[in-house]
């Protein structure tokens, strides 16, 4: 089992000079992964904000790449997730990975051991490649559910393997963590007041597992299912929350965005500036890296981004020429290709690049590293091509952005739904053949009801000067946990039956807690 620490935080030593955090944070609390059996997802919001809000470069001081030596780049990310379910022997909250281990005869649960190894193995792959003279890069996207579940299961081997490549400075140039929603909720159908809570909860838990310095290096964000909101207000609040939580860039699916003229993007191998305008006419923007093509895990499993990058050459951006970037993400454990073929393809590609030390020609990069390199060369986000969420052009050609009002935007959306059969405000993802909304009223209705009840009960308490006196309480943490867990995408992705039953049970428990404790 992973050794449990006292639920009481202790003050750590002062941060080293190399730590990426604001000067005000001379001392930071050392957080426990769990408190009274609950994941540590709230209570130290001030410390999290101090750590994530800094302007220092993350990769630039230590990168071994020089932009002038590179013709093209690629960046790959591994997405890892298992939901939390009320599936223990007595209905306890356990991770679905644990359920798989305990029910080997159901479905593909016999793959539980392979999945666990996939969650752990990058901690072996990166050190081995580096020791052999290669120059690998990998971005990691783990849901909070999965990280907590691994801790619940006592799988210290998985956590220690990940800590090796996360916390050991030897491997920091090669590995980048991407932030996500703690409970793997798809953003377009997440209640707007809960979007930031998910983002902060992930940051809390990541800091508890890997430490503050590691959190300070998390600057890119990977939305679950690559699901980008296209409702003006939801997208605006999503980007606003990301920026308030210290994120610099977002990965988006190619077909979930469009140009300001409503056309498909043509420069998918360059970073973009994603612009959002809400129904009041307010605008906000964030840098976006474009995930190309579809969701087939073979794209990552067979290292397709590397081979695509070999067909590209430098492109003009602003006043300079930069190497393009092929960005791709895929499930890190799901499917035979990722289980069986990915390791050999991963090693083969990096070893092939090692012939030039992996530092010239076509090279692998991490997202933040690439953006910092081109910024140092003279690019700024103002130079990037501009994009917006798909469907926005249809709205803003009917509503003047200078005179936008919530009612006029709502009327335009209603008219578009009538005149354009394929128009919707459900967002776009890498699984557009599935709807995360239609047919799931028995999940969405309780989900929204619990969110409303949660905010009715706690928001007035959080208006006090010392809100953390509330967010550090176990009653708040447990209520928050159930609110976030109910929004997990799996309760819709896997269809009606056991998974929607799980959602109903989470709602029942969350509602009872809120009514009894607040």
> What is the predicted pLDDT for the residue at 210?
98
pLDDT at 192: 93
Q: Is beta strand 386-389 parallel, antiparallel or unpaired with respect to 84-85?
A: unpaired
Pairing of strands 220-221, 94-95: unpaired
Phi-psi region of 111 (alpha: psi -120 to 50; beta: other; left: phi over 0): alpha
pLDDT of residue 14: 28
pLDDT given for residue 495 in this prediction: 63
pLDDT number for residue 430: 46
pLDDT band at 369 (very low <50, low <70, confident <90, very high): very high
CA atoms within 13 A on the CB side of 362: 18
Place of tokens 């030390």: 357
Q: Is residue 436 over pLDDT 80? A: no
Both tokens assigned to 463: 């208006």
pLDDT in tens, 120-170: 999 999 999 999 999 999 999 999 999 999 999 999 999 999 999 999 999
Cα(72)–Cα(91) distance, integer angstroms:
51
> Quick check: 65 pLDDT over 60?
yes
Q: Residue 24: what pLDDT?
A: 41
pLDDT digits (tens, 9 = 90+) for 441-470: 666 788 899 999 999 999 999 987 789 999
Q: Closest Cα to residue 48, out of 11, 12, 22?
A: 22
Flag the least confident range among 1-15, 22-36, 180-194, 243-257. Answer: 1-15
Query: What mean pLDDT do residues 423-439 have?
Result: 55
Answer yes or no: is pLDDT of 25 > 90.
no
Helices vs. strands in the chain: H and E counts, helices first: 21, 19
Question: What pLDDT does 360 receive?
Answer: 95
Q: Give the residue, 316 or 433, on which the prediction is more confident.
A: 316
Q: What is the pLDDT of residue 466?
A: 85
β-strand pairing of 315-317 with 320-322: antiparallel
| Average pLDDT score over the chain | 90
- Please tell me the predicted confidence (pLDDT) of residue 294: 65
Which residues are bridge partners to 34 per DSSP? 39
Q: What is the mean pLDDT of residues 237-250?
A: 98
In the predicted structure, residue 361 carries a pLDDT above the cut 80? yes
Res 103 pLDDT > 60: yes
How far, in Å, CA of 336 to CA of 301, rounded? 9
- pTM for this model (two decimals): 0.92
C-alpha separations of 2 from 152, 160, 182 in Å:
8, 10, 21
Which pLDDT value is given to residue 442? Answer: 65
SS3 160: helix
Quote the crossing angle between the two packed helices 156-167 and 192-210, to the nearest 10°. Answer: 90
Share of the chain above pLDDT 90, in %: 79
Judge whether residue 19 has pLDDT over 60. no
- For the record, the structure tokens of 202 come out as 């992930």
Q: How far apart are CA 213 and CA 207, in angstroms?
A: 8
pLDDT of residue 18: 46
* pLDDT at residue 56 is higher than 70: yes
What pLDDT, in 10s, does the model give residues 482-506?
A: 999 999 988 876 666 788 899 999 9
Distance from C-alpha of 225 to C-alpha of 297, rounded to nearest angstrom: 13
């Amino acid at each position: 089992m992973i050794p449990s620490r006292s639920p009481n935080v202790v003050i750590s030593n002062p941060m080293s000079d190399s730590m990426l955090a604001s000067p005000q944070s001379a001392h930071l609390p050392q957080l426990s992964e769990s408190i009274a059996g609950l994941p540590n997802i709230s209570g130290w919001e001030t410390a999290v904000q101090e750590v994530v809000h800094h302007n220092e470069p993350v990769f630039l001081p230590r990168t071994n790449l020089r932009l002038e030596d590179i013709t093209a780049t690629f960046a790959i990310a591994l997405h890892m997730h298992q939901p939390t379910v009320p599936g223990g022997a007595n209905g306890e909250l356990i991770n679905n990975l644990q359920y798989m281990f305990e029910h080997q005869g159901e479905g593909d649960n016999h793959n539980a051991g392979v999945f666990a190894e996939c969650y752990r193995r990058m901690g072996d792959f990166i050190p081995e490649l580096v020791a052999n003279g290669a120059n690998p890069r990998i971005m990691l996207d783990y849901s909070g559910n999965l990280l907590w579940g691994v801790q619940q299961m006592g799988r210290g081997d998985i956590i220690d393997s990940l800590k090796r490549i996360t916390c050991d400075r030897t491997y920091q140039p090669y590995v980048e963590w991407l932030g996500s929603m703690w409970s793997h909720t798809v953003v377009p159908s997440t209640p707007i007041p809960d979007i930031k809570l998910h983002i902060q909860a992930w940051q809390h838990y990541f800091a508890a597992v890997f430490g503050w310095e590691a959190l300070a290096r998390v600057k890119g964000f990977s939305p679950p299912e690559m699901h980008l909101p296209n409702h003006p207000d939801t997208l605006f609040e999503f980007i606003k929350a990301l920026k308030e939580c210290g994120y610099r860039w977002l990965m988006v699916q190619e077909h979930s965005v469009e140009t300001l003229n409503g056309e498909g993007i043509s420069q998918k191998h360059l970073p973009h500036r994603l612009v959002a305008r809400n129904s009041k006419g307010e605008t906000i923007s964030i840098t976006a890296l474009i995930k190309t093509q579809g969701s087939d895990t073979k794209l990552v499993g067979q290292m397709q981004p590397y081979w695509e990058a070999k067909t590209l050459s430098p492109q003009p951006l602003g006043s300079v020429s930069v190497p393009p970037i092929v960005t791709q993400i895929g499930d890190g454990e799901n499917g035979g290709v990722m289980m069986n073929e990915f390791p050999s393809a991963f090693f083969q590609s990096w070893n092939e690049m090692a012939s030039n030390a992996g530092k010239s020609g076509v090279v692998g990069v991490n997202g933040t590293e690439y953006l910092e390199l081109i910024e140092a060369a003279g690019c700024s986000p103002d130079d990037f091509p501009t994009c917006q969420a798909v469907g926005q052009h249809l709205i803003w050609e009917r509503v003047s952005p200078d005179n936008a009002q919530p009612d006029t935007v709502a009327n335009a959306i209603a008219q578009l739904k009538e005149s354009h059969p394929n128009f919707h405000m459900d967002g776009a993802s890498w699984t557009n053949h599935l709807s995360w909304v239609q047919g799931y009223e028995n999940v969405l209705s309780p989900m929204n009801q619990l969110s409303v009840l949660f905010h009715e009960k706690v928001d007035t308490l959080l208006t006090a000067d010392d809100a953390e006196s509330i967010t550090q309480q176990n009653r708040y943490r447990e209520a928050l946990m159930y609110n976030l867990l109910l929004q997990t995408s799996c309760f819709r992705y896997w269809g009606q039956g056991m998974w929607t039953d799980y959602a109903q049970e989470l709602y029942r428990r969350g509602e009872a807690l809120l009514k009894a404790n607040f």
